[in-house]
Amino acid sequence: MSSQSNQAALPLQGKVAIVTGASRGIGAGLALELARRGAKVALVYTSPKSGNLVEEVASNIKALGNGSDSTVIQADLRHVDTPSKIVGATREAFGDKIDILVNNAGVLTAKAVTETTAEDYAAIFDVNVRAPLLLTGAVAPHLRAPGRIINMSSIGARKCFANFSLYAGSKAAIEGITRSLAQELGEAGHTVNAVAPGPVESDMLSDVPKEIVEDQLKQTAVERRVGTVDDVSRIVAWLCGEDAKWVSGQTISASGGFLML
């Protein structure tokens, strides 16, 4: 196979990626998609209970047999020293430089504002906002140009759903952070974007109120269905590649037209 055809088949060959929340759902799917395109992937997960799941993702990557690779990193994103641990473990596994960071890990809760506590706020914002910001800061000194950073947002940042003020606020914050980081890191040749999925067929779908899912089925312009992990992971993988080099500071709605930006 020529180098040109190999590049077409494996556009991320030689790239090192970090994916948080990689044990299940969208995170597992997009980690596998990056590996399909040739990347070496650091699979970050939080709960020890997810160990078997993330090892299955690693096994699926190994089975690709295309030169991609993975390393598994158990790290609690609620702790402020976790980002440096993740970066250190990734560099130990794959060398000094990092090419791609996907801030995918997130937590979701639905709660009336009258019942919301400071502890609830911290539980959401520590993982959904603080962790991506600090991890980006830890990765940036080791990011090899042209680096790619993708933050996972949600249609909830723009669509209005009752009892989702904490989650919606955290995702709106990540979109603002994305735009600011795109400006800050762009001079070094890096791009920073966000992807905002709608409801997706995954284990988190059970956490989404049925009326929201039903609303999406009625309003989605394409095929009147819930999204799939592949629908989202392929968008993220595209943003990680050379073809997306002129896209930065953007939020892409991955919802089949349910949310049009």
Burial class (CB in 10 A: 0-12, 13-18, 19+), 133: middle
| pLDDT score recorded for residue 6 | 62
The string of pLDDT tens digits covering residues 238-247 is 999 999 999 9
Q: What structural domains and CATH numbers belong to the chain?
A: 3-254 (3.40.50.720)
Which residue out of 23, 68, 70, 153 is catalytically annotated?
Answer: 153
From the list 171, 202, 233, 253, the catalytic residue is 171
Q: What is the pLDDT of residues 160-173, one digit of tens each?
A: 889 999 999 999 99
Q: Residue 203: how many CB atoms within 10 A of its CB?
A: 10
Share of the chain above pLDDT 90, in %: 82
On the question of pLDDT at 41 being above 90, the answer is: yes
Q: Which of 45, 68, 165, 167 is catalytic?
A: 167
Closest CA to 184 of 126, 154, 143: 143
The model carries a pTM of 0.94
Q: Are 37 and 12 in contact (CB under 8 A)?
A: yes
| 2 classed as catalytic | no
Cβ 61 vs Cβ 34: under 8 Å: no
From the list 68, 70, 154, 253, the catalytic residue is: 154
**97 in active site:** no
What integer is the mean pLDDT of 71-83? 98
Q: Which residues, 6+ apart, have CB-to-CB distance to 246 below 8 Å?
A: none
Mean pLDDT, rounded, of the chain:
94
Task: Reply yes or no on whether the pLDDT at 153 is more than 80.
Answer: yes
170 given a catalytic annotation? no
Respond yes or no: is residue 45 known to be catalytic. no
Lowest mean pLDDT among 77-86, 104-113, 221-230: 221-230
Tracing tokens 């996972």 back to the chain, one arrives at 152
What per-residue confidence (pLDDT) applies to 225? 87
Label residue 209 by pLDDT band (50, 70, 90). confident
Q: What is the pLDDT of residue 176?
A: 99
The angle subtended at Cα 131 by Cα 89 and Cα 128, nearest 5°, is 135
Closest CA to 158 of 202, 198, 203, 115: 198
Question: In terms of pLDDT, which residue wins out, 217 or 75?
Answer: 75
User: What is the average per-residue pLDDT within 113-130?
Assistant: 98
